C-alpha cells in the first residue's frame, strides 16, 4: 500500500512498491500530464514536485515518495492560471508540447526560490530539461515573463496582462541569452505588416 | 522529371477516381462543392463525390436529405453549427508546427468567419481524405488553394442565403467575423445556418473563385495564438502514449493489456531460439511473453512482454533471458556502409542510382579549367529521438482494426497493419492523437505493427510502448552519407563546370518504393529524398548530379526521413564547396554567391511557386549580410570567424529561401567551438501563421545547431551506438547561441517552414570555422577532437 498526498488530496493505493512514481501517476491514477521520455532522469519530461522540490519520477520508486506531498502539472494551479502557465500561453512556448509539463514544473520550483532571476540563472536552472523541438528561446523568455507576472500579481493583486501572444511582431525575432535582464524579447522595432491584427 | 510530390499527386488522383467510381450513381461523377443544412448543422462539403450531386440531380432527394441520410462520403473540410461554431477537419498531424491553426486560418480568411468560433478536429483515417501524409513542409503550401477556395465558397453561399433571409440584394452584403452584413442589418452565420441553406458548386465554379487580394487579408500574415498551445500547458493534451480506451469500448472488446517489445540483436534476419521468463514472472502484473509472427517482415525475431500495466512490462522485459540466432545485418557497421559510399561516389553509375541533374558532361571542362577544386564530405547516422517514444494501441472489433497513436502517414500505417495482419483492404482505421515530436520518424507506421500483432495474439486490446533504447534501436535513422564534388574555375574565377555525387540509404526505396521518382532520360528510378538540395539555384556552368543508393546501409537498418532529409547532407557539401571555390577564386564567399545567383535560365523561377527564382535567394543573402555585419567580417577578434550558407528548403518545386550567417570562436587548445550567433533571413512567401512560422524557424535552426555540433552516432552491432541521453546529446538551453531572425515581408505563395532552417546551420558553422582558423571540417557532426586534430596538422 502506497500513501501520499497528490495535488492536495490523500491517496492510498495497492501497487508494487518498486513501481516508478511516474507510472503510478500515469497508469494507476490516470494523470498523464507527466511524461515518459528517457527513463533515466536525464530529459526532465517526468518532473513533478515532491515535498515542494522538483523531482524526476521515472526512476523514483513510489516507495521513496511514501507519505510525501506530490504536485503534478494538473495540480499546479487552480484554473491553470499559474504565472508560468499564463506566460507559456503569452509567449506561445510549446511546439509538440511533450516536454512542457516537465519544463513548467522545473521552472515553478526554480521561480519559487529565485523570484527575480537573471538570464544566466534561468539558463542554468532549465539546462537539465530537454526540449526536442528546441523551443528554448521561448522557454527562456517565458520563465522571465512569469517572474514578472508573479511579481506584478504580488504587488497589485491584479492578475494577467494581455492574453494574446507577445506584444511584438512575429516577423522579427531576437534572442540573446547573455543580455542583461529584460532584453530577451521579440524586437518591436522592425514591425512589419505581419504584426497587424 | 517526376518528383515525389508529382507521384503523390498522381496517386491522389487514382484514389479519388477509384472513390468516385465506387460511389457514383446517375452518371454524374463531377467533383463539386455542396452545402446543405442537416438537422441544425450545416455541412460545407468540398469535393463531393458523384453520389451527392446525382442524388440531387435526379430528384431522389435534396442535398440536405442526402447529407442527413449519409448517402455519400464527401471530402468535408469544415462544418458550421447553428451556434456559429466552425469546425475545421484536419487531416494533418499536429507535431509542434501548429498545423491546425495554419490550416484553419486559410479557411477562416476566405470564409470571413470569427476566429473565436473556430474549432479543429484531427480526423480518423478514411479513403475520402485521400492520401494522408504530413511531411515535406508541404501542409500549408498544398492546402492553400483548396482550403482557401473552400472557405470562399462558404462565404459566397452564406452571403447569398443571408441576403435572401434579410430580403436584401446580395450585392449589398459583405461578410465579416462570422456575420453577413447589409447596411444596418446583419445575421450571424449560426442564424443563417439555423434557417437553412443549400448551395452546390461545380468543379468549374469552384476553380473560378478568385481568392481575396493580399491587401484584403485579415487573418493570414497577422499575429494570433495557436489553438494547440493551452492544452500543452496544463497536462490536458492527449498524446498517443496517454491514450486509453473508453470504458464502453473495453466493455465490448476486453480490457487493454500492456506490452513492451523485446528487440532482436539486429534489424533483419534474427530468430528466437530460447526464452526464459522465470525471473520476469516475479514481477507483479507480468502475464506472458509472446513471439510475434510478422508476415510483413517488419518484426523479425521479435517478442512482446505482456502485462497488466506498462511499468510491469518494462521491468519484466529487463529480466527476460532470450537467445537469438543473429541475422547477417548484425555484422554491417557504419565503417562498412561508409566504405561502400566512398566506392559509389568515386565511380557513380546507373547500376546504383541515377542522374538528378544532367547538363552535359563536365569532365572535359574540368580538365581544361584553370583551377579545379575537389572534395569529399561525410555525415554520420542521426536519430530522430522524438521525446515521446514510439507507441501504439491496437484492437479489433467485428473484424475491423483500430490503431490509436500519433502518426504522420496514416495511409502507410494502415497498409502496413493490413499486410501484417493479412487483412482485406479497408479493415484498419488509424485514430490520430497529438505527436510528441515527429521530425519524420512518424512518417513510418512500423511501430503500429508489433502492437497489432500482439493484440491479435492475445485477443485483447494491446497498448505497446517502446522504452527510449527500444525506440532508438527501432529508429529509421538518417542514413550516413558520402559525397564527392568537383568543380572548375576559369582564369577569371568563374565556375565553368561542376559534378556532384551523393551516396546514402534511400528512405523512399525502403518505406514506399512505389513513390520513387522517374529519373531523367529514362535512367531508372531515384529517391529525390536522397539528393534534393544538390539541384541548387547557383549557376555553376555545366552541372551533373548523381544520386547513388548505398545498399549496404539498407542491410543494417531502414533509412528514414529525418527533418529536411537529403538537404541535411547535400547542403553540408554544396555550401562548403561553394566556399572552397570562392577561396580558390580569391573572392568573398558571400559576394561570390551573389554572382552565382544570376537568376537566369532554369534559375529564373516560375510563378506562382518560385516567382523570382534565384533573385529571391540573392535578396535574403543581401539582407543577412546587412543584419549580421558581414562587412566587419575581416576585423573580428582572433580565432573568431563568420560563415554563410544558403538553402532553398526542400524542393525546387517549393522553394523556401533561407540565408544564415554563423559567427564562431574557436579554442585552438581544445578544438571547442563556441557558436556565438546565428543571423538568418527567410523568404517563405505569405506566412499563414507568422508566430508559428517564427517558432518553426527558431526550432529548426537550433535543430541545425544540434545536428552540427551535438548529435550523431554510428551503426554498430545491429543498432545505433548511442541509444539514450548521455551518449546521445541533443542541444540544451545553455548551448543556444544569440539569434537574430527575420522573415521577408511577402505576399507570394506560402511555402514550407518546418524543415528549411535545419540545413543551413552546419555548413555556415563549418565555413565560419574555416574563416576563424583556416581549417575545414568535412565530417558531420563537427567534434572538437576532429578540429583539434585538423589544427595540429595545419
Angle between helices B410-420 and B448-458 (to 10 degrees): 40
Q: Of 3.40.50.620, 3.30.365.10, 1.10.240.10, 3.40.718.10, which CATH number belongs to B240-263+271-325+386-474? A: 3.30.365.10
C-alpha cell, B553: 546501409
d(CA A171, CA B193) in angstroms, rounded, equals: 37
Q: Does A91 touch chain B (CB under 8 A)?
A: no
For residue range B188-198, what is the model confidence (pLDDT) as tens digits? 999 998 888 77
Domains of chain A: 2-75 (3.10.20.30), 78-190 (1.10.150.120)
Distance from CA of A157 to the nearest CA of B (A): 23
Contact A92 B229 (CB under 8 A): yes
Give just the sign of the alpha carbon dihedral B150, B152, B155, B161: negative
pLDDT at B337: 98
Write down the residue that cell numbers 572535359 correspond to.
Answer: B364
Contact B706 A94 (CB under 8 A): no
Q: Does A17 touch chain B (CB under 8 A)?
A: no
pLDDT at B598: 97
Judging by DSSP bridges, how do beta strands B719-720 and B738-743 pair with one another?
A: unpaired
Give just the sign of the alpha carbon dihedral B362, B366, B369, B374: positive
d(CA B176, CA B193) in angstroms, rounded, equals: 16
> Is it the case that residue A82 has pLDDT exceeding 80?
yes
Closest by alpha carbon to A148, among A176, A128, A122, A175? A122
- With bands split at pLDDT 50, 70 and 90, how would you rate the model's confidence at B59? very low
Whether B690 and A169 have beta carbons less than 8 Å apart is answered as yes
Contact B733 A140 (CB under 8 A): yes
Tell me the domain boundaries of chain B.
4-220, 240-263+271-325+386-474, 335-382+477-793
- Cβ-Cβ contacts under 8 Å, A76 against chain B: 234
d(CA B410, CA B59) in angstroms, rounded, equals: 37
- With bands split at pLDDT 50, 70 and 90, how would you rate the model's confidence at B15? low
> Is it the case that residue B461 has pLDDT exceeding 80?
yes
Least confident piece of the model among B42-46, B197-201, B678-682, B755-759: B42-46
Residues 6+ positions from B303 with CB-CB distance below 8 Å: B261, B262, B272, B275, B289, B290, B291, B292, B320, B322
pLDDT at B42: 45
Whether B503 and B566 have beta carbons less than 8 Å apart is answered as no
C-alpha cell, A7: 495535488
Distance from CA of A116 to the nearest CA of B (A): 19
Q: What Cα–Cα distance (Å) separates residue B383 from each residue in A7, B380, B439, B513?
A: 37, 10, 10, 22
Q: Looking at chain B, which residue has its C-alpha nearest residue A20? A: B311
Contact A164 B238 (CB under 8 A): no
Q: Nearest CB to B726: which of A42, A80, A85?
A: A42
- With bands split at pLDDT 50, 70 and 90, how would you rate the model's confidence at B593? very high
Contact A137 B435 (CB under 8 A): no
Residues 6+ positions from B147 with CB-CB distance below 8 Å: B77, B103, B106, B107
Q: Which residues of B38-74 are buried (b: 16+ CB within 10 A; e: fewer)?
A: beebbbbbbbbbbbbbbbbeeeebebbebbbeebbbb
Domain with residues B4-220, CATH architecture: 2-Layer Sandwich (3.30)
Closest by alpha carbon to A106, among A41, A151, A48? A48
Residues 6+ positions from B89 with CB-CB distance below 8 Å: B76, B77, B78, B79, B120, B121, B123
Domain with residues B335-382+477-793, CATH architecture: 2-Layer Sandwich (3.30)
For residue range B135-161, what is the model confidence (pLDDT) as tens digits? 999 999 999 998 999 899 999 999 999
d(CA B702, CA B93) in angstroms, rounded, equals: 22
Q: Does A106 touch chain B (CB under 8 A)?
A: no
The DSSP H or E segment spanning A111 is: helix A100-113
Closest by alpha carbon to B153, among B115, B188, B204, B196? B204
> Is it the case that residue A176 has pLDDT exceeding 80?
no
Average pLDDT over residues A103-129: 98
> Is it the case that residue A183 has pLDDT exceeding 70?
no
pLDDT at B371: 97
- Cβ-Cβ contacts under 8 Å, B285 against chain A: 16
- Cβ-Cβ contacts under 8 Å, B623 against chain A: none
Whether B680 and B541 have beta carbons less than 8 Å apart is answered as no
To test the contact with chain B by mutation, choose from A16, A173, A179 the residue with the greatest count of B C-beta atoms within 10 A, namely A173
Contact B388 A172 (CB under 8 A): no
pLDDT at B65: 37
Q: In the predicted model, what is the mean pLDDT of chain A?
A: 86
C-alpha cell, B253: 472488446
To test the contact with chain A by mutation, choose from B691, B692, B705, B724 the residue with the greatest count of A C-beta atoms within 10 A, namely B691
pLDDT at A169: 43
Q: Same CATH fold, B240-263+271-325+386-474 and B4-220?
A: yes
Contact B698 A173 (CB under 8 A): yes
For residue range B418-458, what is the model confidence (pLDDT) as tens digits? 999 999 999 999 999 999 999 999 999 999 999 999 999 99
pLDDT at B516: 85
Q: In the predicted model, what is the mean pLDDT of chain B?
A: 91
Q: Does A120 touch chain B (CB under 8 A)?
A: no
Give the sheet arrangement for strand B779-780, strand by strand. B353-358, B542-549, B495-504, B481-489, B371-379, B779-780
Contact B234 A172 (CB under 8 A): no
Closest by alpha carbon to B404, among B202, B589, B571, B253? B253
For residue range B244-265, what is the model confidence (pLDDT) as tens digits? 999 999 999 999 999 999 999 9
Distance from CA of B690 to the nearest CA of A (A): 5
- With bands split at pLDDT 50, 70 and 90, how would you rate the model's confidence at B18? low
- Cβ-Cβ contacts under 8 Å, B232 against chain A: 94, 97, 100
For residue range A41-68, what is the model confidence (pLDDT) as tens digits? 999 999 999 999 999 999 999 999 999 9
Contact A96 B387 (CB under 8 A): yes
For residue range B545-563, what is the model confidence (pLDDT) as tens digits? 999 999 999 999 999 999 9
For residue range B477-507, what is the model confidence (pLDDT) as tens digits? 999 999 999 999 999 999 999 999 999 999 9
Whether B739 and B678 have beta carbons less than 8 Å apart is answered as yes
3-state helix, strand, coil in chain B (%, to 5): 40, 25, 40
Contact A173 B468 (CB under 8 A): no
pLDDT at B6: 61
Contact B741 A174 (CB under 8 A): yes
pLDDT at B9: 62
Amino acid at each position: 500500500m502506497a500513501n501520499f498526498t497528490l495535488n492536495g488530496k490523500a491517496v492510498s493505493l495497492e501497487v508494487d512498491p518498486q513501481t516508478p512514481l511516474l507510472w503510478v501517476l500515469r497508469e494507476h491514477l490516470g494523470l498523464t500530464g507527466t511524461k515518459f521520455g528517457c527513463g533515466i532522469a536525464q530529459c526532465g519530461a517526468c518532473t513533478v514536485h515532491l515535498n515542494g522540490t522538483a523531482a524526476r519520477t521515472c526512476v523514483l520508486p513510489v516507495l521513496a515518495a511514501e507519505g510525501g506531498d506530490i504536485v503534478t502539472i494538473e495540480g499546479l494551479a487552480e484554473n491553470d492560471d499559474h504565472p508560468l502557465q499564463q506566460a507559456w500561453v503569452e509567449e506561445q512556448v510549446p511546439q509538440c508540447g511533450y516536454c512542457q509539463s516537465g519544463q513548467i514544473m522545473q521552472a515553478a520550483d526554480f521561480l519559487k526560490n529565485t523570484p527575480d532571476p537573471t538570464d544566466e540563472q534561468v539558463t542554468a536552472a532549465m539546462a537539465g530539461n530537454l526540449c526536442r523541438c528546441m523551443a528554448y528561446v521561448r522557454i527562456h523568455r517565458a520563465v522571465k515573463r512569469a517572474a514578472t507576472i508573479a511579481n506584478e500579481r504580488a504587488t497589485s493583486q491584479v492578475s494577467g496582462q494581455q492574453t494574446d501572444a507577445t506584444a511584438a511582431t512575429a516577423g522579427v525575432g531576437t534572442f540573446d541569452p547573455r543580455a542583461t535582464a529584460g532584453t530577451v524579447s521579440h524586437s518591436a522595432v522592425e514591425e512589419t505588416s505581419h504584426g497587424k491584427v | 522529371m517526376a518528383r515525389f510530390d508529382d507521384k503523390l499527386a498522381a496517386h491522389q488522383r487514382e484514389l479519388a477516381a477509384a472513390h468516385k467510381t465506387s460511389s457514383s450513381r446517375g452518371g454524374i461523377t463531377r467533383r463539386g462543392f455542396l452545402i446543405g443544412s442537416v438537422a441544425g448543422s450545416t455541412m460545407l462539403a468540398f469535393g463531393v463525390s458523384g453520389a451527392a450531386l446525382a442524388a440531387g440531380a435526379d430528384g431522389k432527394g435534396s442535398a440536405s436529405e442526402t447529407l442527413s441520410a449519409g448517402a455519400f462520403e464527401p471530402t468535408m473540410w469544415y462544418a458550421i453549427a447553428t451556434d456559429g461554431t466552425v469546425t475545421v477537419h484536419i487531416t494533418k498531424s499536429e507535431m509542434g508546427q501548429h498545423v491546425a491553426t495554419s490550416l484553419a486560418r486559410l479557411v477562416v480568411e476566405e470564409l470571413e468567419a470569427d476566429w473565436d468560433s473556430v474549432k479543429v478536429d484531427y480526423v480518423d483515417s478514411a479513403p475520402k481524405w485521400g492520401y494522408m501524409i504530413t511531411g515535406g513542409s508541404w501542409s500549408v503550401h498544398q492546402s492553400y488553394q483548396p482550403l482557401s477556395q473552400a472557405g470562399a465558397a462558404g462565404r459566397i453561399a452564406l452571403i447569398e442565403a443571408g441576403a435572401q433571409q434579410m430580403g436584401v440584394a446580395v450585392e449589398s452584403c459583405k461578410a465579416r467575423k462570422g456575420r453577413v452584413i447589409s447596411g444596418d442589418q446583419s445575421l450571424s452565420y449560426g442564424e443563417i445556418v439555423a434557417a437553412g441553406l443549400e448551395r452546390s458548386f461545380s468543379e468549374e465554379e469552384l476553380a473560378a473563385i478568385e481568392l481575396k487580394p493580399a491587401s484584403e487579408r485579415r487573418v493570414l500574415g497577422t499575429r494570433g495564438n495557436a489553438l494547440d498551445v493551452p492544452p500543452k500547458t496544463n497536462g490536458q493534451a492527449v498524446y498517443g502514449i496517454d491514450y486509453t480506451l473508453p470504458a464502453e469500448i473495453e466493455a465490448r472488446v476486453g480490457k487493454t493489456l500492456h506490452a513492451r517489445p523485446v528487440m532482436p540483436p539486429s534489424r533483419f534476419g534474427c530468430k528466437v531460439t530460447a526464452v526464459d521468463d522465470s525471473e520476469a514472472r516475479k514481477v507483479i502484473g507480468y502475464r506472458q511473453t509472446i513471439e510475434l509472427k510478422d508476415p510483413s517482415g517488419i518484426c523479425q525475431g521479435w517478442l512482446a512482454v505482456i502485462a497488466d500495466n506498462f511499468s510491469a512490462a518494462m521491468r519484466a522485459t529487463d529480466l527476460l533471458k532470450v537467445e537469438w540466432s543473429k541475422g547477417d545485418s548484425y555484422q554491417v557497421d557504419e565503417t562498412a556502409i561508409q566504405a561502400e559510399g566512398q566506392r559509389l561516389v568515386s565511380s557513380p553509375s546507373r547500376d546504383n542510382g541515377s542522374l538528378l541533374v544532367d547538363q552535359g558532361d563536365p569532365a572535359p571542362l574540368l580538365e581544361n579549367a584553370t583551377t579545379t577544386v575537389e572534395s569529399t564530405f561525410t555525415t554520420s547516422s542521426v536519430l530522430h529521438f522524438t521525446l515521446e517514444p514510439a507507441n501504439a494501441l491496437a484492437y479489433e472489433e467485428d473484424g475491423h482494426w483500430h490503431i490509436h497513436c500519433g502518426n504522420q502517414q496514416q495511409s502507410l500505417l494502415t497498409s502496413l497493419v493490413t499486410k501484417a495482419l493479412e487483412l482485406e483492404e479497408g479493415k484498419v482505421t488509424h485514430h490520430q492523437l497529438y505527436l510528441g515530436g515527429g521530425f519524420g520518424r512518424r512518417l513510418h507506421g512500423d511501430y503500429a505493427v508489433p502492437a497489432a500483432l500482439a493484440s491479435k495474439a492475445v485477443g485483447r486490446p494491446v497498448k505497446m510502448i517502446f522504452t527510449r533504447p527500444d525506440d532508438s534501436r527501432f529508429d529509421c535513422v538518417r542514413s550516413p552519407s558520402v559525397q564527392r564534388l568537383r568543380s572548375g574555375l576559369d582564369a577569371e574565377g568563374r565556375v565553368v563546370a561542376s559534378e556532384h555525387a551523393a551516396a546514402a540509404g534511400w528512405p523512399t526505396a525502403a518505406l514506399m518504393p512505389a513513390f520513387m521518382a522517374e529519373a531523367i532520360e529514362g535512367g531508372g528510378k531515384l529517391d529525390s529524398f536522397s539528393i534534393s538540395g544538390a539541384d541548387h539555384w547557383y549557376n555553376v556552368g555545366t552541372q551533373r548530379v548523381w544520386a547513388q543508393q548505398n545498399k549496404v546501409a539498407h542491410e543494417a537498418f531502414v533509412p528514414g526521413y529525418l527533418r529536411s532529409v537529403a538537404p541535411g547532407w547535400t547542403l553540408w557539401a554544396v555550401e562548403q564547396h561553394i566556399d572552397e571555390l570562392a577561396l580558390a577564386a580569391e573572392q568573398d564567399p558571400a559576394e561570390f554567391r551573389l554572382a552565382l545567383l544570376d537568376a537566369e535560365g532554369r534559375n529564373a523561377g516560375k510563378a506562382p511557386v518560385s516567382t523570382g527564382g534565384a533573385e529571391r535567394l540573392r535578396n535574403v543573402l543581401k539582407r543577412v549580410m546587412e543584419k549580421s555585419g558581414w562587412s566587419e567580417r575581416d576585423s573580428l577578434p582572433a580565432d573568431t570567424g563568420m560563415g554563410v550558407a544558403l538553402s532553398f528548403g526542400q524542393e525546387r518545386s517549393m522553394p523556401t529561401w533561407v540565408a544564415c550567417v554563423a559567427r564562431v570562436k574557436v579554442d585552438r587548445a581544445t578544438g571547442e567551438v563556441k557558436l556565438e550567433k546565428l543571423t538568418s533571413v527567410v523568404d517563405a512567401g505569405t506566412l499563414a501563421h507568422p508566430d508559428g512560422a517564427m517558432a518553426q524557424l527558431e526550432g529548426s535552426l537550433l535543430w541545425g545547431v544540434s545536428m552540427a555540433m551535438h548529435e550523431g552516432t554510428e551503426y554498430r552491432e545491429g543498432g545505433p551506438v548511442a541509444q539514450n541521453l548521455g551518449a546521445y546529446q541533443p542541444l540544451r538551453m545553455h548551448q543556444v547561441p544569440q539569434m537574430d531572425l527575420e522573415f521577408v515581408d511577402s505576399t507570394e505563395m506560402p511555402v514550407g517552414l518546418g524543415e528549411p532552417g535545419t540545413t543551413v546551420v552546419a555548413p555556415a558553422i563549418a565555413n565560419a570555422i574555416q574563416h576563424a582558423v583556416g581549417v575545414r571540417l568535412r565530417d558531420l557532426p563537427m567534434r572538437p577532437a576532429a578540429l583539434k586534430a585538423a589544427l595540429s596538422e595545419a
